[in-house]
Structures are given as C-alpha cells and as structure tokens.
Amino acid sequence: MQPASGAAPVVDAYLNDLADAAARLDRAPLTDLVDIVHAALTRGRRVLIAGNGGSATAATHMASDWAKAGSRYRPAPLVLALNDNLARITAIANDSSYEAIFAEQLPGAGGPGDVLVLLSVSGGSPNLVAAARTAKAQGMTVVSALGHPGDVAAVSDVVALLGDGDYGLAEDLHLSLTHLVVRLLNGGAPQRYRALAGAVAGGCHG
C-alpha cells in the first residue's frame, strides 16, 4: 500500500493556480501577439526569439515548433532562437558585455516585416531591452511575453503579461504561446496523436 502523499495539495493548488492565471490573463494583447507572429511566419519573414534561463529553453522550443509548423508555407520562414548559438553568445559576452549578447546578433538578421519575440518573467533583463532597441532601429516589430511589466515592456510594440509574476506559471504560459501559434498555423484545429491499428511495435512519436 502506498503511503499518503504530501504532494496532493501542492498538485491541486498549482493546477488551480495555472487554470486561474490562464482564465484571468488579458487576451487582447495575447491575440495581437499571436496574430503578428502568425502573419510573419505565413509570409516567409524572419522571426527571432530571445530569453534567459528557463525562458531561453522556451525560446528554443518555440523556434523548433514554429519553424516546423511554418515549413508548409512558401517561402518558408526563418525562425531562430538567439540564445542557441553558445559560441557566439560567449564571444559577445567576453568581448563586449552580457547585455549585448542578443543585440549584437541582430544587425543584418532582420528588418521591416520581421519580428523579435522576447520572453521574460522579470520583464527587466537588460540584454532583452538592448535587443529590442536594436531591432526597432532596424524596423522590426518587437513583441514580448512577460511575467512583469518591467523595462522590456516599455520598448515593445505589443506586451502580453502572463502568470502574474510567478516563475512557474509564466514559463508554462510561454509554452502555451508556442502552441497557440502552432495551432493557428495548422488551421486552428487540435492535433492529437492516435494509436494506429497494426502500427509497427516500437514506432512512436515524440
């Protein structure tokens, strides 16, 4: 017999908090953000994404999913997470500053019609602020998904506030943003994996 779990109340509380955060978020700016990204992807524009820490892993996930879902369109969009090139990031941080790690990647990488997506829980990361200013100087649209309306919000064209500053909730909702755009790219319908009769044993989808 399994011992009583102390996890049950935490599980219940967290899932309730996540559902509440999703229910209470302002959907208008979130919808605008999704529309902007979707338009860029379906028109073959460049979409660049940046974040720090957990938001960096969300940016990588986002870039992978959006590039794959957008590949059906012609011309196919270029989607890049600026935090993925470790060699370049460390070179810029070493030679210039950590604040410049994203901004120095932008010259020549984007222009009018392209989009920079910034992910942050704090909303105050100096390297994201620097990236936003550089992107806007190049004519790019800057959209942000933030846990707090910090300095990043002030230099963004559209800001979606997610998770009320709670790191876990904000990062979960960043991933929801990823999948909202994918669903729109796929025509708005959910895609569910179904077991296929007679499927080869061991064949599975990730």
pLDDT digits (tens, 9 = 90+) for 19-42: 988 888 889 999 999 999 999 999
Is the per-residue pLDDT at 51 higher than 90?
Answer: yes
Report, as an integer, the average pLDDT of 67-89.
Answer: 92
Say what percent of the chain tops pLDDT 70. 89
Whose CA is closest to 153, among 36, 33, 15? 33
pLDDT in tens, 137-178: 999 999 999 999 899 999 999 999 998 778 888 888 889 999
- Give the residue, 120 or 201, on which the prediction is more confident: 120
Q: Which two tokens stand for residue 102?
A: 């994203």
Residue 203's pLDDT band, with cuts at 50, 70 and 90, is: very low
- Hey, what domains does the chain have and what are their CATH numbers? 23-185 (3.40.50.10490)
Whose CA is closest to 135, among 159, 113, 107, 154? 107
Residue 2's pLDDT band, with cuts at 50, 70 and 90, is: low
Is the per-residue pLDDT at 6 higher than 70?
Answer: yes
Report, as an integer, the average pLDDT of 127-145.
Answer: 97
Report, as an integer, the average pLDDT of 124-147.
Answer: 96
- Written as one string, the DSSP assignment of 112-181 is TT-EEEEEESSS--HHHHHHHHHHHHTT-EEEEEESS--HHHHT-SEEEE-GGG-HHHHHHHHHHHHHHH
pLDDT on residue 198? 42
Say what percent of the chain tops pLDDT 90. 60
Is the per-residue pLDDT at 180 higher than 80?
Answer: yes
pLDDT on residue 205? 42
Is the per-residue pLDDT at 74 higher than 60?
Answer: yes
pLDDT on residue 200? 42
Instruction: Give the Cα separation of 159 and 154 in Å (integer).
Output: 9
- Written as one string, the DSSP assignment of 18-61 is HHHHHHHS-HHHHHHHHHHHHHHHHTT-EEEEEESTHHHHHHHH
Report, as an integer, the average pLDDT of 178-197.
Answer: 73
